[in-house]
Structure 1
């Protein structure tokens, strides 16, 4: 996940030579049914889970059973599906810092969340602290963390240079393990973007939580399709932007306020 590379460290007017741990970033070329669909700039871990999660959240497959084979050769992967003549809309490159849907984002065509999940603010605070304690982040300062949890606790925690890649990985892991994602929630270290929200909607993950910020588009999509967004979870503080009914200890009057405020 990282290599110690030489650098010159400056502190005030003093300079010294040293080694510093730097996160690895590699290109991963993905072909589906003989056609190149993706080049991901990603961390060199959990490739199979990433491929499964990406294909699922991009709706290239509807279930893991539609994958016939996944074959790796160096930095390339070839996937065969049960629908070999399915037309793919485009090719794309997923950069390490961002994702982006393969097709135009039409909110009305996105699925609505179907879940009875309920969490307390104390449960959210506890699991965010647990999920985001990353030795690799402390060491390198260059990694995102995404955790998948349910009411029983941790399911999977993944580190990657890109938070969208990490989200695809935990979704791919859950699909392989036959986990019902309607009873889970996602914790991430970075900003909650519209693409993160879209992936959660496709996977039917009802809650996404971050210690960072979110965007107006992410909130608009979440409110329209029933997803809960919680940001700035730091210490005893947090901001609940949508889906307040899933946070069990919020007073009903505040939930009503959140539901009415659609601006």
Structure 2
């Protein structure tokens, strides 16, 4: 099973969820050979709960993942922590939503939950906990205490960082960092739109029908990482398209206001 463990459903935190937009993303994920993905939308994105409400209307949910035209979508979210950094949490929908409700008072910058408090929440449920882009300059994780980092299940080899800092350099830094902690490395495109799918992914040695199966496969390192030769082109095109789309959205919003 080929799975991308770091993906988004929206163009940006400020945008609304669009079923049509996400349908296009799903088709592109399938076209890039993916069998599954983890939807790790930002926990403080605009109208977070609406994302899952819309997905419930779009696709059947079998208690473990959404069945989206042949693509498995495992629920998740990306959480900011007080110390600076992002944590990916992946699991059953009810567990993700339960954890998100506990974060209602921690959504604003300056009031993010502490790493330890977030781990206490996540460890009370069977969630997969991945340290996102540990060497990203704006939101690193490598500065955390070793005993804190050991509470995570894996670390994210992130397509955006591989493009920005150099594929080989970033790969080696994350690999050595995770190895020193005795943790696996997982691949995530970090895509906010369709062009970045397939830049990196994990190929599991077995099909995973539950979030528990998925976590076990990661902890057992029963998978291989794949990095596309087209990663620089995919991410560059994605970055350029995202900027253009956000500009169009801003212009349309300004035009709408001026016409009132």
Higher strand share: 1
Higher helix share: 2
Q: State the TM-score, normalizing by the size of structure 1.
A: 0.31
Higher relative contact order (CA closer than 8 Å, sequence separation 6+): 2
Q: State the TM-score, normalizing by the size of structure 2.
A: 0.31
Greater Rg by CA: 1
